[in-house]
A and B are shown apart, each in its own frame.
Chain A
Amino acid sequence: MLPRRTLLAAPTLLAAPALAQGDQRPAITIAVQKISNSNTLEVLREQSNVGERIFRSSLWESLIGRNWQGQLETQPALATQWRRIDDRTVEFDLRDGVRFHDGREMTAEDVVFTFGPERMFGTGEGSGAALFQRAPGTAPQGRELPPEVPAVARRMLPALERVEAVGRHKVRFVNRTPDVTLEGRLSRLGADIMSRAGFEAAGSWLDWARKPIATGPYMVAEFRPDVSLTLVAHDAYWGGRPPLRQIRFVEVPEVASRINMLLSGEAQFACDIPPDQIGAVERNRAFEVQGGTILNHRLMCFDKSHPVLRDARVRRAMTHSIDRQAIVDSLWSGRTVVPRGLQWDYYGEMFLSDWSVPRFDLAEARRLLREANYRGEPIPYRLLNNYYTNQVATAQILVEMWRQAGLNVVIEMRENFSQVFDRSTGQRGVRDWSNSAPFNDPVSSLVNQHGPRGQQQQIGEWTNEEFNRLSDLLETDTDRARRRATFRRMLEIAEREDPAFTVLHQNATFTAKRRDIRWRAAPAFAMDFRAQNWGA
């Protein structure tokens, strides 16, 4: 039986009686676990999954967009077309008639400013020093960037030399070194275009970062950090009038409370639903749970400096002891997949369709352990309490699977990543992680996370001379066939020969909603509320 409140609320959403006179479009509320980790709406400061959800495609847009209703393939967005001038240069034709949230027209000048020092890379001396520095009496009135913004920007576009306007609606991006991934980098979260006038009109960087002037179909009406974010329709949107009058994201940390908001009709969407709650929600036929795999893989990392794990055969044995499909079936109700290693379909021609994770083979695992002369020495497994969905349950299953092969893995609970990384409190062994692919090339994940400047090597967990050499090659090589071969060799090293990590499964995110709302979840955290994905 439907709750009375749900029945009463039903007509308000689709038939949409106008609360605001003259505007018949519905307003929706979305209950989320977290709105923004950084309490800002700046794409370079909020490089997170939750950031992608509120930014794309509602608020921010980049020159090259993604097909949120397809397989995330790139497609024209604020640029209608682009072309390679040479190995280092890409030229973009900007879309005519794009209006920012403040009504101004987007021009090449805004694009140049977006990728300039004032907003992205810092102005040099003193940049990043004032805003977040805890100096008594220093008010946060500066326009200086927080230091992490230029750091993220440099990671995103490490070799960008300049961006130049070559016409009112034409820009060129020039790299210092050849880079076939430049287009991909310009489609990722962080490369979104902002209004120069909007930035300059804001009282401070923080003021701007809480109400950025961008081009998306919805604009910020009110942002209450840790509480709610209200977006309203940007009716001059280049892609057509948005179908919703208002979108309100409400921060509800507890899963039960999010589901209750949905069931009671106060929210039309409830995000971050754990897999074990899907059945409970769908038992009520008025609701359904959508969503699925996202551009994020769950993996285990190995610390090569551990006396036992120094031997690659022990690490390889660990990779062969895992029945990944059993984890997917039991903990995820089969609603995610075991991917083909640390790569995603949307890599396009760089995707290696014949690659796979190490097969589940206990006999092979035992053979490798015998060869390595492993005698049951304990291997520590530093574990966080469900930072990742199903993390603890997965760890407990893994430990039992490893035990089957003869491995003695001991769980050590930790409170945060800082404690997981800490070397002063004992020997590290294995730990959990997840990797995303911010753009459609293996550089975005394999190189950026596991290469010489990636986290795993920076914290001293793992290194491999050949892998590092190939990382540099993959970043600068322009021969596509050779890049595929390089990528394959890198996967061989990092996943099989000298394992740095092993992929467990693709991550997934689930959104519960009223069944009668015609809306489709993207294979990503992004929530698309443009006209083509509402009520069609």
Chain B
Amino acid sequence: MLRFFTIRLLRAAVTLTMVVTFAFLVLIASGDPADIIMGSDAPPEAIEAFRQAWGLDRPIWVQYLSYFSAILSGDLGRSMRDGRDAIVLVAERIPATLALTLPALALKLALGIPAGIYAALHRNSMADRAVMVLAVAGFTIPSFVLGLLLVLVFAVQLGWLPSGGQESWRHAILPVITLGIGGAAVLARFTRSAMLEVLGQPYIRTASAKGVAWRAVVSHHALPNAAIPTVTIIGFMVGSLLAGAVVVESVFSWPGVGRLLVTAVANRDLAVVQCILLLVAATMITANLVVDLLYGLLDPRLRSGKEG
């Protein structure tokens, strides 16, 4: 177990270093933050003053080493646009994003898994086809199109719900549905495929032949075995809780991490972008680690390292 964690931690460190380095080089090489943050009409002397104050006039490799050593010492830097600690800025936005992504995750699970199971158990029926048509539609419609459609119907035409902002729980309904539908569709497809594969296995036939009730066959034999690929997908969804709502936050003017990321990238606000990327990468790595551990719980063969 110790070896397992050590290898995972080393991999995580390499991944994070690559993320930081890649983002730094792309952001610095693609535009001078001083020009971008100060705007095209700023006096040249103001831009120069800004550049000097932030060390942007130094060679790129000096900037990189300086930045990287600061990260190693726990300092994620300050926002060039805002003047405040990047971690504080990002931390302020996390609750808003989780207020969308957590209910959306629950919606994905609540809709996607039962729909996938139902479709698999009624394979080739009208219900199966209907579920799959809806699922294909759900994950092929881009979230910004779906979001705007929902706003048009429920906010503009019917006036039932607000079109954007973050003032109350009602403001979260449309963005949560927008986020949830796409994910639910993906989960439904994966769950159906996994269930169909399991339902075709000999042990399912054996259990049925032994007279085990179909309900028990499904719940005790099919579902646990079909859970592994589904858990993998759910792991990805959990990993993207922090930055999985970039487009939806923009469409619904929701002030979360996603919108902060868009603004920070546009302004080349390096410290803020890096801070978000580090958090997202860390979340993804943690989620994958948890998924790996869950595999062991779901399939004892994986726990003992044997294939059975």
B197 within 8 A of A: no
Q: Which residues of A contact B255 (CB under 8 A)?
A: 224, 226-227
Residues 252-267 of A, flagged 1 when their CB comes within 8 A of B and 0 if not, give 1110110011011110
Is the beta-carbon distance between A136 and B75 smaller than 8 angstroms? yes
Docked pose: A227 CA to B263 CA in angstroms: 12
From A232-240, A411-419, A515-523, give the one contacting chain B.
Answer: A411-419
Given contacts A136-B70, A147-B52, contact A260 B46 (CB under 8 A): no
Docked pose: A474 CA to B35 CA in angstroms: 28
From A3-11, A93-101, A112-120, give the one contacting chain B.
Answer: A3-11
From B125-133, B162-170, B218-226, B296-304, give the one contacting chain A.
Answer: B162-170
Interface residues on A, range: 35 or more
Q: Which of A202-226 contact B (CB under 8 A)?
A: 206, 224-226
Residues 241-259 of B, flagged 1 when their CB comes within 8 A of A and 0 if not, give 0000000001111010001
Is the beta-carbon distance between A3 and B157 smaller than 8 angstroms? yes
Residues 24-49 of B, flagged 1 when their CB comes within 8 A of A and 0 if not, give 00000011100111111111111111
A455 within 8 A of B: yes
> Among the listed B43, B78, B262, which residue makes an inter-chain contact with A151, where contact means beta carbons less than 8 Å apart?
B43
Is the beta-carbon distance between B163 and A148 smaller than 8 angstroms? no
Is the beta-carbon distance between B39 and A250 smaller than 8 angstroms? no
Q: Which of A152, A257, A455 has the most CB of B within 10 A?
A: A257
Is the beta-carbon distance between B53 and A129 smaller than 8 angstroms? yes
Residues 1-24 of A, flagged 1 when their CB comes within 8 A of B and 0 if not, give 001111010000000000000000
Is the beta-carbon distance between B39 and A147 smaller than 8 angstroms? no
Q: Which residues of A contact B164 (CB under 8 A)?
A: 250, 252, 257, 260-261, 266
Is the beta-carbon distance between B39 and A37 smaller than 8 angstroms? yes
A347 within 8 A of B: no
Docked pose: A217 CA to B163 CA in angstroms: 30
B115 within 8 A of A: no
Q: Which residues of A contact B52 (CB under 8 A)?
A: 147
Is the beta-carbon distance between A260 and B253 smaller than 8 angstroms? no
> Among the listed A146, A266, A433, A448, which residue makes an inter-chain contact with B162, where contact means beta carbons less than 8 Å apart?
A266
Is the beta-carbon distance between A148 and B50 smaller than 8 angstroms? yes
Q: Which of B106-154 contact A (CB under 8 A)?
A: 148, 151-152
B159 within 8 A of A: yes
Docked pose: A136 CA to B85 CA in angstroms: 10
A251 within 8 A of B: yes
Q: Which residues of B contact A482 (CB under 8 A)?
A: none
Is the beta-carbon distance between B156 and A132 smaller than 8 angstroms? no
Residue of B nearest to A138 (CB): B78
Given contacts A133-B53, A147-B53, A455-B44, contact A261 B36 (CB under 8 A): no
Residues 204-235 of B, flagged 1 when their CB comes within 8 A of A and 0 if not, give 00000000000000000000000000000000
A346 within 8 A of B: no
Is the beta-carbon distance between A134 and B54 smaller than 8 angstroms? yes
A404 within 8 A of B: no
Q: Which of A277-327 contact B (CB under 8 A)?
A: none
Q: Which of B164-202 contact A (CB under 8 A)?
A: 164-166
Q: List 23 A-B contacts (CB under 8 A).
A: A4-B158, A37-B39, A47-B41, A131-B83, A146-B50, A147-B49, A148-B46, A148-B47, A154-B45, A225-B82, A227-B255, A250-B253, A257-B253, A260-B155, A260-B164, A264-B155, A264-B156, A265-B159, A416-B30, A448-B43, A453-B44, A454-B44, A455-B44
Interface of B toward A, CB cutoff 8 Å: 30-32, 35-50, 52-55, 70, 73, 75, 77-78, 80-84, 148, 151-152, 155-159, 162-166, 250-253, 255, 259-260, 262-263, 268, 271
